[in-house]
Structure 1
Amino acid sequence: MTRRTWTLFAAMSLIWGVPYLLISEAVAEVSPAVVVFARTAIGAVVLLPFAWRQLRVVWEHRWPVLAFALLEMVGPWFLLSDAERHLSSSLAGLLIAFAPVLALVMARVIGLERKIGGLRIIGLVLAVAGVAALGGGGMESSGAWPVVEMLFVAVGYAIAPQVAALKLGDVPALPMTAVCLTVAALISAPFAAATWPASLPSATAVGSLVLLGLLCTALAFLLFFRLIAEAGPARATAIAYVNPVVALALGVSLRGEPITLLIAAGAVLVLAGTFLATRRSAHDAEPALEVGATPGGSSPG
């Protein structure tokens, strides 16, 4: 990869490790619905001017696009924002690292992946053990439900790429993302209005919402498309191994979030297991379609 490509990769790894910290700051003062509406509305306003010439092809695939928006943005972002009222941002980011493993299992079930070799099975086992450890560390301080919410988020992030791979291969990524953000904003708008804060949130909360929309949504997708074009989808989605570490580092260093031995062990197991489970060796059969080749393959959280 070129220096430019490595720069894009580093930028994306950092940018998509940041949302967990920003969401945690925002939900301290506004509802999860307001968080989802703010980031999707800002992202839609920024991206639509770049995408409007290609909206017709999105309309021709409207039902799969709607399903993708619900699975990739609406559902996960509501659950993620709600869970982060009780979970630390670092733990939330680490739990999301399990999404590529779920995507691999689902791809095998529906036939996108023809074979899972022995090394990848070991990776699956390690990742499941890591999630169990992370869940244990999270439930000690928050109860079971926020951890369950994060696992549902991972399920949404795992299913969405399969929908895109099967039904949206002919839809350009930029207009599809712009439309999905618009749909998510429209769906979340009534809930945001019903829970709108009575007084203006602090500058920290407002700034977090603006950064979520501009940096972690609109700019992130534009850079991710460029990274895919320059490095290819397989290398581009490798940021899924890095951004949980960024989320952990930011949470611990900037917010003083605790890191217990159980959480540290879980982090190592999830990241190592995910790497082994999603890497392709010479002994593995080629997939029917490449999993994770869409924008949903490495989600921002």
Structure 2
Amino acid sequence: MSAGAAPASAARLTPLVLLCLGLVYVVWGSTYFGIKVAIETLPPLGMLAARFVLAGALLLLALRARGVALPTTREWGASAVVGTLLLGGGTGLVTLAERDASSSVAAMVIAVSPLFAALFARLWGERTGGREWLGIGVGLIGIALLNVGELHATPLAALLLILAPLCWTFGSQWSRHLPLPQGLMGSAAEMLTGGGVLLLLSVLMGERWGTPSAASLWALAYLTVFGSLVAYSAYMYLVAHTRPALATSYAYVNPVVAVLLGVGFGGEQLGPLGWAALLVILTGVALVAWPRRVPDAEAV
């Protein structure tokens, strides 16, 4: 992944961009349920540390076998910043919150990511249009509606679910302006450094490993291979090659997939007010992520 915004020619809806979008949409929608299963018998932060360190190490070894150079000291530092914000702050806070909140509700709260992305993009001079501001407002109304009707969680879990997308989207936007390693080596470095931060936090919090169930181990394997190796690498490609609202538009599909899995397989329930909140949130996201009318040189 290169530093700074991608050139306009790389920002179009190419087949590779569409493939990455599809992977992030579907796979990440399923990871909320996977996390819920994994932390039934595994420590939350320790599970994530194992997931990202293993995925990052496998990816780095595969790249080194192909002759890809290791990151420089400067690139490792930038990767640590992004890995800490996205994986430690974003994924880590969601995982901690899911101890006291359903996977469905967690995914619905994280659906506001494109709204935060539009706000943070302004820090680096990207314009936020009137329709995007409207979408941000609509999305926040949906979150308020969700809190009234369906956010059956402790105050701490609710706070973590709000902080998680703030960390994730701020880190995503900052990553476009940091000297990160090229291509998949950037993903490997971010997972290794982010996983290392999560491991340190796990130790500091005194997490202990018991005897994990087979279901938790299968969930961890799925999260490692598909949630990290496949989908995270696809997402970082999108961050580097598309505009912020499109890169985070996985929020269209993720909540729907998460709700279907949570209700269908996890015994979770969502009332009429919850479904209404989901519709309002997705409407806000649609207003933010809908392509702008721009000259061909800047089209996405």
Confirm or deny that 1:91 pairs with 2:102: no
Alignment of 1:118-267 (within 5 A): 118-139=130-151, 141-168=152-179, 171-192=181-202, 194-198=206-210, 200-224=211-235, 233-234=242-243, 237-267=248-278
1:105 aligns with 2:114: no
Looking at structure 1, the residues matched to 182 and 174 of structure 2 have their Cα atoms a distance apart, in angstroms, of 14
Aligned CA distance change for structure 1 residues 151 and 57 (closer, same or farther; 3 Å): same
| Alignment-mate amino acid for residue 63 of structure 1 | G
Q: How far apart are 1:245 and its partner, in Å? A: 1.3
Is the alpha carbon distance of 1:176 and 1:11 closer, same or farther for their aligned partners in structure 2, counting shifts above 3 Å?
A: closer
Shift of 1:96: 0.8
Partner of 2:9: none
Counterpart of 1:279 (choices 290, 293, 297) is 290
* 1:153 to partner: Cα distance: 0.5
Contact 1:80 1:150 in 2 (8 A): yes
- Secondary structure of the 2:125 match is coil
Instruction: Please identify, of 214-223 and 5-14, the stretch whose mean Cα deviation from structure 2 is larger.
Output: 5-14
Task: Call closer, same or farther: CA 1:3–1:106 in 2, change over 3 Å.
Answer: closer
1:17 is paired with a residue of what secondary structure? helix
SS of the residue 2:177 aligns to? helix
Indicate if the aligned counterparts of 1:20 and 1:247 stay in contact, CA closer than 8 A.
yes
1:268 offset after TM fit, Å? 0.9
Q: In structure 2, how many angstroms separate the alpha carbons of the residues matched to 1:156 and 1:5? A: 24
Aligned residues of 2:114 and 2:248 also touching (Cα < 8 A): no
Contact persistence 2:76–2:189 (CA under 8 A): no
Go from structure 1 to structure 2 and tell me whether the alpha carbon gap of 1:65 and 1:130 turns closer, same or farther (over 3 Å shift). Answer: same
Q: Give a deviation string over 1:109-164, Cα, whole Å, max 9, x none.
A: x14313x222222111100101112233344x223221210111010111012211
Distance, in Å, in 1 between the alignment partners of 2:256 and 2:135 is: 18
TM-score (norm 1): 0.82
Aligned pair in 2 of structure 1 residues 31, 283: CA closer, same or farther (>3 Å)?
Answer: same
**Using the alignment, how far apart are the partners of 1:256 and 1:167 within structure 2?**
43
Q: Which residue of 1 aligns with 2:41?
A: 29
The answer to whether the 8 Å contact 1:117/1:283 transfers is: no
Structure 1 unaligned residues grouped into runs of 5+ = 294-301
Structure 2 counterpart of 1:18: 30
Q: Give per-residue Cα distances to partners, 1:79-117, cap 9 Å, x unaligned.
A: 111100111101111111111111111212x14313x22
> Are the structure 2 counterparts of residues 190 and 266 from structure 1 closer, same or farther at C-alpha, using a change threshold of 3 Å?
same
Which residue in the other structure is 2:94 paired with? 80
Stretch moving more, 33-42 or 17-26: 33-42
- Which residue identity does 1:185 align to in structure 2? G
How many residues are paired up? Answer: 281
For the residues of structure 2 that align with 1:77 and 1:237, how far apart are their CA atoms? 15
Cα RMSD of the aligned pairs, angstroms, is: 2.9
CA distance in 1, matches of 2:167, 2:267: 29
- For the pair 1:69 / 2:83, whether they are aligned, the reply is yes
> Deviation of residue 191 (structure 1)?
4.5
Inter-CA distance 83–227: structure 2 relative to 1 (3 Å threshold): closer
Counterpart of 2:51 in structure 1 is 39
**Offset of residue 224 of structure 1:** 4.9
Deviation at 1:228, TM superposition (A): 8.4
Compute the displacement of 1:276 (Å). Answer: 0.4
1:181–1:228 CA distance, 2 compared to 1 (3 A): closer
Q: Deviations over 1:33-87 (max 9, x none)?
A: 2221121122112211233454544533333322111111112222111100111
8 Å Cα contact 1:124-1:277 kept in structure 2: yes
Q: CA shift at 1:207, angstroms?
A: 1.0
Q: 1:102 to 1:30 in 2, by over 3 A?
A: same
